[in-house]
Amino acid sequence: MPEQLTELKQTPLHALHQELGAKMVPFAGYSMPVQYPMGVMAEHLHTRADAGLFDVSHMGQVILTPTDGMAALEAGLEALMPIAVSGLAEGRQRYGMFTNADGGILDDLMFANRGDHLFVVVNAACKAADIAHMRAHLSDVAQVQPVTDRALLALQGPQAEKVLASLVPDIRAMRFMDVVSVDTVFGALWISRSGYTGEDGFEISIPAATAPDFARMLVDRPEVAPIGLGARDSLRLEAGLCLYGHDIDTTTSPVQAGLVWAIQKSRRAGGAREGGFPGAARILDELANGVAHQRVGLQPQTRAPMREGTQIWDAPEGGQTVGRVTSGGFGPSLGAPIAMGYVESGCAATGTELWGEVRGKRLPVTVCDLPFRPSTYKR
């Protein structure tokens, strides 16, 4: 067996994945289920119609405990992100991103105010770097504690509330991006009403020891199917959500990436806490003056998928390269290929007709609004 495979980490649900017949693949240093016997297409559609259970235990869970009061921690975190941390109410979660001095994105993340501390969830591939980054910059204001004894599950889809409420009735009252901590027979569950599929649903941090029984109880429900990384990718693409390392990275700014909605007014020019984050000069300039390239939705006009890396042209022959696809595939809920990518801003208007080069042929593709499918969050 290649050395790389023997060194892969396993999540607390590894045995359950195998029992459920998952096809396991290496992902961000972990052995993860890419699909179950149901298959990517059916898993995707099941999540949209009923509910899907995802193991996202590979993601980084980190607790930031203030050592000099919450206000100092919030200010410390605001020095790393163009996002308002101060003002986030207890029991609420927010989307953010660490930026670098060039205004690029180091990682995107979720953070929650849990009263006496902040709880942060970061991408698996960036976990070690994010923890080092927070330790380097927050050590004066917080203890940075990676949570290593918990699994993280996502239960997503229109039946998620009903299924989870049968075990934890309190969650019915939650709105999108609310967080609660609930004591159950499975131990303390840290639940947020959020996810990365465009569906209503929940993300559940649970003690590693009880996670397999909890997950088994969920997948035993007729409404719930286990869902692998394959369908997770097509679900988030239909929802127009960025995948770090593909749609966003250190070379893309939040403004180029179309994440302006995540930057509160207080951090923008004229705001109470304007700037003061890495890359502020570029990001504030882009907010004021626009960007040369930006992320857009791309709707291929033939049945051929346009995968990541597909070059986008402004003419069916000759012409110029005006962009490239950063995520592309097939949208099972749309029954058609879908993609997103970066194009020159002059070509970014909805309805602009462009051409993607697939196997040497330029095929028509139209700039479209994101998401491809309206989200069903419970606001």
Partner 1 sequence: MKYTEEHEWLRVEGDVVVVGITEHAAEQLGDVVFVELPEVEAQVVKGDEVCVIESVKAASDILAPVDGEIVEVNDVLSDNPGLVNEDPQGDAWFFKMKLDDLRVLEDFMTEDEYKEFLG
Least distance in Å: CB of 86 to partner 1?
43
Question: How long a stretch of residues is the chain?
Answer: 379
The distance between the two most distant Cα atoms of the chain, rounded to a whole number of Å, is 65
φ, ψ (nearest 5 deg) of residue 357: -90, 110
Q: For residues 221 and 324, which CB has a smaller minimum distance to partner 1 in the complex?
A: 324
Helix (H, G, I), strand (E, B) or coil at 207: strand
The residue (of 36 and 190) whose beta carbon lies closer to partner 1 is 36
- Of 135 and 307, the one with the shorter C-beta distance to partner 1 is 307
CB of 20 to partner 1, least distance (A): 17
CA 169/CA 280 separation, integer angstroms: 43
**Between 267 and 373, CB nearer to partner 1:** 373
Q: How far apart are CA 111 and CA 15, in angstroms?
A: 30
In the complex, the smallest distance separating the C-beta of residue 158 from partner 1, rounded to whole angstroms, is 22
Q: Nearer to partner 1 by C-beta: 46 or 127?
A: 46
Query: CB of 199: closest distance to partner 1 in angstroms?
Result: 18
Select 162 or 361, whichever has its Cβ closest to partner 1: 361
The DSSP result for 16-79, as a single string, is HHHHTTPEEEEETTEEEEEE-TT-HHHHHHHHHHSEEEEE-TTSEEEEEEESS-HHHHHHHHHT
The least distance separating partner 1 from the CB of residue 359, rounded to whole angstroms, comes to 7
Residue (330 or 342) nearer to partner 1, CB: 330
Q: Least Å distance between CB 40 and partner 1?
A: 4
Cβ–Cβ under 8 Å, residues 338 and 326: no
Q: In the complex with partner 1, which residue's Cβ is closer, 316 or 319?
A: 316
CB of 312 to partner 1, least distance (A): 18
Locus of tokens 């067996």: 1
Nearest alpha-carbon partner for 354 in 277, 272, 290, 298? 298
Distance between CA 237 and CA 227 in Å, rounded?
A: 15
Tokens 């070379």, residue located: 251
Which residues are at the interface with partner 1 (CB under 8 A)?
A: 35, 39-42, 230, 234, 303-305, 307, 329-330, 332, 337, 359
- In the chain, alpha helices (H): 3-6, 14-19, 40-49, 70-78, 127-138, 160-165, 211-219, 229-238, 280-289
Residue 41 CA neighbour count, 13 Å, CB half:
7
Nearest to partner 1 of 332, 356 (CB atom): 332
- Selection from 129, 146, 152, 130 nearest residue 32 by Cα: 152
3-class secondary structure, 140: coil
